Every structure is written in structure tokens, then in C-alpha cells.
């Protein structure tokens, strides 16, 4: 379900308690993507976000997406426990829309040079945009598990990481990206950045399972992060966005 968030200048696709499935700028607004020049502990990172939003004349409700990095994948109970603290902070900022968390999110565990604690990697927020500006959006990270579930028994090909299993996992994830785009009224042609997170990059995996579904977005290429999804036994994750303005803070 796509819900309007007029205070934030965007609409969001409902997800689960810790995050929405994606956000898209409302008319007269655009999404700006900001990457930190150096990681910050995630709670300290929110202080940085607060200061940055004030500097650009935007309030907290303009915050629409968060990207985190964690030291190692969580167990499912550990992931749920982390999310409880995260949700508490989001609620303390008065960002919820009714019973829904509007913020999109990606959270992955780098396989190389991981942080010692959960950190903020990047964030997105809305600003006013001129009439006729292109559509901008962020789709949350998703792994090979059905939408709206945190049941690790539902993981596709759980415990399998061979080429065939990884193609099935990746195919499910890229299809999820496509369905979320469609639900927000966007499409692959508008995607400017595609991120892939896995440590099982078998030869031909992207060609066989991903590129064919991306259509015109392939002209922008894709970025591979040698990282694991945030939960044990998840092996492939993606997120996508369509952005005009990318900054470093």
C-alpha cells in the first residue's frame, strides 16, 4: 500500500515495523542521497542527520531512507532485537505515519573491513524541487525471503549457496525490486543506481538472474558490495534508487 507522508514530502510503500519497502518523492519534491565520508555509530549518525537537515532548512520528517552497516549478520532474534531499538529512535523523532514506519532501509554486513558496531553509511531526505523535475525514489534492501516476513524458515533455498541456488535467490530478489518499483508508480528506466550485496558471486550469476530483468537500468551498470544481508542464511540482497542529487557529508 502506498501512503502519503505530507510532512515529509514523499509517499512510502508499506513494509514491516522496522522499515518501509520504499519511498518516492511527492510532487514538488525530490529525494537527495547523502553518503557519509566516514562511518559513524548509528545513533551518533542520527545526530549528524539532524544537524544536516537543519543546515539545509529541512525538518526531521524530510528524512526518508537509512543505510546501515553491521559487524556480522544477526540471528533472526538478534535482528528483531536490534530493530526494536531502531524503531524506538524513529518513534522518538515522531516520524511514524499512523502505525507505519515510513523510512526505507538497507542494512548489510561487509565481508571486508567490517565495522566493530552498527554504523550509519548513508541516508536520504527530501527537498523542494522545481516543477517538472524527474521522479526520485529509494527502494529498501531486500533478500531472498517473501515480503513482509521475518521468519527465517521462509528463506528461499535456505543453506544452499551453489550456482543454481544463488540464481534462484537472485531472481527472487530482483523480481522483488521490480514489484516494489511498480507499486510505487516507478520503473526500471528511472533507476540510476543498483546495489548488489553478496559474497557468493558465481560466474554468470548477474547475467543469468539479474540483468535481464533490469531492462534500461543496465546502462548505469551496478555496484557489487562484498557483503552479507543482515540475517544469517540470507545470501543475496539488492536495493535500487532513482536520484538526481548525490552528495557526501
pLDDT grade for 194, boundaries at 50, 70 and 90? very high
Helices (H), ranges, the chain: 42-55, 76-92, 163-183, 205-209, 211-214
Q: Supply the CATH number for residue 132's domain.
A: 3.30.1330.40
pLDDT band at 148 (very low <50, low <70, confident <90, very high): confident
Range(s) of the domain holding residue 80:
2-248
> What confidence score (pLDDT) does residue 70 get?
98
Looking at residues 54-75, what average pLDDT do you find?
98
pLDDT at 132: 85
pLDDT band at 193 (very low <50, low <70, confident <90, very high): very high
Q: What is the CA radius of gyration of the chain?
A: 17
What's the whole-number average pLDDT of the chain? Answer: 96
The pLDDT score that the predictor gives to residue 150 is 77
User: 204 in the Ramachandran plot: left (φ > 0), alpha (ψ -120 to 50) or beta?
Assistant: left
**What's the confidence (pLDDT) of residue 97?**
97
- 3 state SS of 115: coil
Instruction: Count structural domains, the chain.
Output: 1
Question: Percentage of residues in the chain with pLDDT exceeding 90?
Answer: 95
Three cell numbers, residue 124 = 536520504
pLDDT for 153 equals: 87
- Grid cell, residue 47, equals 545526530
Whole-angstrom distance, CA of residue 35 vs CA of residue 62: 16
pLDDT at 131 over 90: no
Amino acid at each position: 500500500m502506498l501512503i502519503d507522508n505530507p510532512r515529509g514530502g514523499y509517499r512510502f510503500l508499506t513494509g514491516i515495523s522496522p522499515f518501509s519497502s520504499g519511498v518516492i518523492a511527492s510532487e514538488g519534491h525530490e529525494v537527495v542521497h547523502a553518503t557519509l565520508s566516514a562511518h559513524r555509530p548509528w545513533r551518533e549518525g542520527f545526530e549528524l542527520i539532524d544537524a544536516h537537515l537543519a543546515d539545509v532548512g529541512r525538518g526531521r520528517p524530510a528524512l526518508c531512507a537509512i543505510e546501515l552497516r553491521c559487524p556480522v549478520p544477526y540471528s533472526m532474534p538478534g535482528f528483531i532485537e536490534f530493530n526494536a531499538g531502531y524503531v524506538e529512535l524513529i518513534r522518538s523523532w515522531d516520524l511514524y505515519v499512523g502505525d507505519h514506519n515510513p523510512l526505507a532501509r538497507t542494512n548489510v554486513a561487509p565481508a571486508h573491513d567490517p565495522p566493530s558496531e552498527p554504523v550509519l553509511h548513508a541516508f536520504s531526505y527530501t527537498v523542494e524541487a522545481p516543477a517538472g523535475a524527474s521522479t526520485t525514489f529509494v527502494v529498501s534492501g531486500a533478500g531472498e525471503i517473501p515480503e513482509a516476513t521475518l521468519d527465517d524458515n521462509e528463506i528461499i533455498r535456505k543453506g544452499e549457496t551453489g550456482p543454481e541456488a544463488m540464481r534462484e535467490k537472485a531472481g527472487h530478489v530482483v523480481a522483488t525490486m521490480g514489484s516494489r518499483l511498480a507499486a510505487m508508480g516507478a520503473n526500471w528506466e528511472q533507476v540510476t543506481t543498483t546495489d548488489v550485496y553478496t559474497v557468493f558471486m558465481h560466474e554468470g550469476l548477474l547475467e543469468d538472474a539479474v540483468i535481464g530483468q533490469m531492462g534500461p537500468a543496465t546502462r548505469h551498470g551496478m555496484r557489487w558490495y562484498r557483503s552479507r544481508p543482515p540475517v544469517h542464511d540470507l545470501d543475496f540482497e539488492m536495493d535500487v534508487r532513482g536520484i538526481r542529487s548525490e552528495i557526501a557529508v
